[in-house]
Chain A
Amino acid sequence: MSAAAAPAGGATKHTVIAWLEDKPGVLNRVVGLFRRRNFNIESLTVGHSETPGISRLTFVVDGDERMVDQAVKQLYKLVNVTKVENITGKRAILREMALIRVKVDGQTRGEVMQIVDIYRARIVDVSMDSVVVQAVGATDQIESLIELLSNYPILEMVRTGAVAMTRGHVGRNGNGHRKRRTAL
């Protein structure tokens, strides 16, 4: 289960989306705010949104309700932030990507490829002594894959941090709260 689908009570990780004006220094304002308000940010990603001139930022904050409430309210006060939405507890899709370079030899390459296959990840680079795995998925699945691959071991890794989008309303066939299967 992804962090966004976790029940609100007792959850320590909260996912928030903020829309920012795409101007110089705006990301700095946001990051500076997190630092000086002592918010514990686990991941933060930023990129274009559907609206030209507006960037979309997704961040995961580790803390209690009070902290995330403050993070949302303080973000709203930044003049260049146009909208903030706390999607914790809402039906949402959370995804991140990881590139993982794993040390392999002739014997272990096959095992790694099998694991990658099970996780529906891809091998995007192969050399004599390593492979690079590209994985896209919910945070816990990426973490589970990393844990398995770390046995080979992992030589290098980069993760993007989560991006998120709420799910649309389910049509006539659904009640909107159907338990969904977590899929990559």
Chain B
Amino acid sequence: MKRTGAQIVWEAMLQEGVKVVFGMPGGAILPTYDALAQYPQIHHVLVRHEQGAAHMADGYARVSGDVGVCIVTSGPAATNLVTGLANAMMDSIPVVAITGQVPTSLLGNDAFQETDVTGVTQPVTKHNYLVTDIKDLAQVMKEAFYIARHGRPGPVLVDICKDVQNDSTDFVYPEEVNLPGYQPWYGLDEQAVEEAAAIINRSRKPLIIAGHGVQMGNAVEELRVFAEKAEIPVTTTLLGLGDIPETHPLALGMCGMHGEAHTNLAIQECDCLIAVGMRFDDRVTGKLDEFAPKAKIIHLELDPAEVGKNVPADVAIIGDCKDSLQALTQKIEPARHVEWLEEIASWREEGEERDILRAEVDELIPPYVMRQMWHVTQGNCIVVTDVGQHQMWEAQYFIHERPRQLLTSGGLGTMGFALPAAIGAQMAAPDAQVWAVVGDGGFQMTMQEMATVMQERLPIKIAIINNGFLGMVRQWQQIFYEKRYTGTPILNPDFVKLAEAYGMAGRRVTKKDEVVDALAEAKAHDGPFLLDFRVKEEVNVYPMVAPGAAVGDLIRRPKVVQGPSGVTPAW
């Protein structure tokens, strides 16, 4: 069966189950775009900037659990992908990126729109390929999807020279890959399971930190069963929100830099820390030397390179956490930890007394918006957050109950992630309600994708937490740089008018008592809707662990104080 290189790209995608690709055409990828017309099974979403294409593929992958695909041309288009690929790499998201490249005859000649894309993307991809011979193309496509999906997932880039797209060859899609250097399978170490179980059985104050790996490995149920059997409380990382319903009696919420005090105090007090599918990011651990000082550490992790990288493990169980958790659950004794749970509950109660939502605040504050968003949607939506203060408020005040419900840029901290990722999420889950929660700063980095929302007629809801600052940076300037607000006040367009210009409905919200009504209007609106919440400007995210400080050493929420007009918080 003769096929052109361009056709092989799409044939391979059909074989891999691809239904949607995100991209933008250009010179060096034109042959492949020309062939797309022959493959109506594949829907193409036209983006407005290639960074958006990478984030959309990322968002698609996070919701669908399968590979997200983006396709762009050479040179500037390919370099525009870099941020999105780095984001997918840091959060272990399976993405395949196809880039056009100048013809082989021009390679290395500084041809028009030529960039060494495999060179540029090498540190931000799990693997990448430059295809200069059509005979390699089918095999490379097979391997790209295989590598993106298997082991610890990640982005793979395939750079295809234009002449290869035009050449033709006999096409047979390989059944198997032959990758002698890529064998990411590690049989379960029974002895490690025994040792880990012994530590857990002896412990009086055990604690689980659950990460992104639990969702990626579809091990949410296994985690719950494991935690319940020995009554072990569960805190999660940011990307681990949804590993366990936050309404579950053993769920403590998110730990780390902006985790509630009781989670971080539990880490510092526990005598056995079971880390599941997480990599001890510095935002989780704070000062490494003082992290979990009393605990034996058990690390369940797919990627052996993560074991001992930041925090040395007393016992490591390498493998898929679904298998590891099942094996460990069998070996542990049922247990109750009443005193330990009470100790944590007392810390939690103290934290809740400081909760800003307990105060009678008339002003429009972001935590209130986030909590009301949860009430109005009844939690029945996918939330995609950008990066900054609003991201932390969402993590704290929205109540996450399901895996793949919260999409956020955890590792790279990419401002501009939310809107394009929400588009990817909506494409993967057409019937779900998708909310993009953004700050006024990050939104302006990728807001041109509102045009993509309109072109694809996606009913995405956008909530802008608009405080006129690059808020998280401002918060750091307030705390660590004596309020010298250099470069953080930000002049914004009228976002509602901007939405209007794109043909999108919108509403500005300036008062607290409008919040619920506005959220309900957006929810009920048939189509996309933008909400511009003009929130109080200088509100900080608390609690906060200063970078480099021990996690137990946190800046607590200012105490709610009794004022003349009732209870008001001290900002």
Contact = CB atoms under 8 A, between A and B. Distances in A.
Interface of A: 20-21, 24-25, 28-29, 32, 36, 66, 69-70, 73-74, 76-82
A82 B180 contact: yes
Interface in B161-196: 179-182
Interface in B234-277: none
23 contacts: A20-B181, A21-B180, A21-B181, A24-B130, A25-B118, A25-B119, A25-B130, A28-B119, A28-B122, A36-B123, A66-B308, A69-B308, A70-B308, A73-B304, A73-B305, A76-B305, A77-B303, A78-B181, A79-B147, A79-B181, A79-B182, A81-B181, A82-B180
B127 to A, nearest CB: 5
Interface in B100-143: 118-119, 122-123, 126-127, 130
B309 interface: yes
A77 B182 CA distance: 7
Contact of A79 (B118, B127, B130, B303): B127
Contacts of A82: 180-181
A153 B5 CA distance: 61
Nearest to A53: B180
Interface in B74-88: none
B216 to A, nearest CB: 17
Nearest to A33: B123
Interface string B145-164: 00100000000000000000
A137 to B, nearest CB: 33
A74 B179 CA distance: 17
5 nearest A-B pairs in the assembled complex, by CB-CB distance: A73-B305, A82-B181, A79-B127, A79-B182, A82-B180
A80 B182 CA distance: 7
B122 A29 contact: yes
Residue from the set B179, B305, B308 with the largest chain A CB neighbour count within 10 Å: B305
B376 to A, nearest CB: 44
Interface residues of B, number: 17
Given A81-B181, A82-B181, A74 B123 contact: no
Contacts of B126: 79
A173 to B, nearest CB: 36
B122 A32 contact: yes
Contacts of A36: 123
Nearest to A18: B181
A70 B305 contact: yes
Contact of B123 (A24, A32, A69, A80): A32
A28 B121 CA distance: 12
Residue from the set A25, A28, A32, A74 with the largest chain B CB neighbour count within 10 Å: A25
B123 A79 contact: no
Contacts of B122: 28-29, 32
Contacts of B123: 32, 36
Contacts of B182: 79
Contacts of A24: 130
Contacts of A80: 181
Contacts of B127: 79
Contacts of B179: 79
B38 to A, nearest CB: 31
A120 B387 CA distance: 64
Residue from the set A36, A73, A74, A77 with the largest chain B CB neighbour count within 10 Å: A77
B180 to A, nearest CB: 5
A82 to B, nearest CB: 4
A95 to B, nearest CB: 27
B246 to A, nearest CB: 33
A160 B118 CA distance: 29
A71 to B, nearest CB: 10
Nearest to A20: B181
A80 B130 CA distance: 14
A80 to B, nearest CB: 5
Nearest to B127: A79
A29 B119 CA distance: 9
Nearest to B143: A79
A86 B304 CA distance: 16
Contact of B305 (A20, A25, A29, A74): A74
A78 B305 CA distance: 12
